[in-house]
Amino acid sequence: MMKRWLSWGAKRKPISESRWVVIDVETTGLDPSHDDLLCIAGVAMRRDAAGWTLDHGDHFQVVLKQAVHRASETNVLLHGIGWGAQQQGRPRAEALGAFQSWVGDALLVAFHADFDRAFIERAHRLEQIAPPEWTWMDLADVLPGTFLTQPQRSLDDWMSQLGVQCVKRHQAAADVWATAQLFLMAAAHRPGARDWRVSDWIHAADQGRWLRRMQSAR
């Protein structure tokens, strides 16, 4: 008998205009069709009349328990999540439920968001949980049109160009902080962006994605 798929409120809800979350994941590899989700980290940003700010008290991090040690030594050295920490992580379904509760009705912001999204959705499917219909925004699509520079740049390139420091790259919590700083810089730099709604940012990201594709096709 097929297991019944759970939803946990997977239907799309109105997106908050005042609280968004920046997220990053760590994985056992780079292939979302084969590799596993190891860790999710996130931090919230809030908007008021003065604009967007980072809410240091509103953050999230969870390591997902791994039944099999699949991460290579190089992979472990990169993200720092050893086999002991992986064994002591939270069960996958429990971790995903906690993440859903923390995200709530927020827009999800990530750098190269398709990567994070693919691993998170695969983890849901492995647990026979319908992935929530979240709305995502890829900061990699927003930045080139904001700072009028060449697209197809890495997170490290953007951090270097805009002077963002990171305590430990390739660790989810640190990468989330760096990504959030880049978004705050973009929000401060774009004329009128302080008053932009979700739809305005999504439109800007769509334009940036089109620009990146056109330039990469040349």
**Domain layout of the chain by residue ranges:** 19-216
Look at residue 131 in the predicted model and tell me its pLDDT. Answer: 92
Predicted TM-score (pTM) of the model is 0.89
Name residues of the chain where pLDDT drops below 50.
Answer: 1-11
Whether the Cβ atoms of residue 140 and residue 116 lie closer than 8 Å to each other: no
Look at residue 89 in the predicted model and tell me its pLDDT. Answer: 95
- Domain 19-216 matching CATH 3.30.420.10: the answer reads yes
Q: How far is CA 75 from CA 71, 105, 117, 151, in A?
A: 6, 33, 20, 27
Cα–Cα nearest to 102, from 46, 61, 48 = 61
Look at residue 124 in the predicted model and tell me its pLDDT. Answer: 97
Look at residue 40 in the predicted model and tell me its pLDDT. Answer: 98
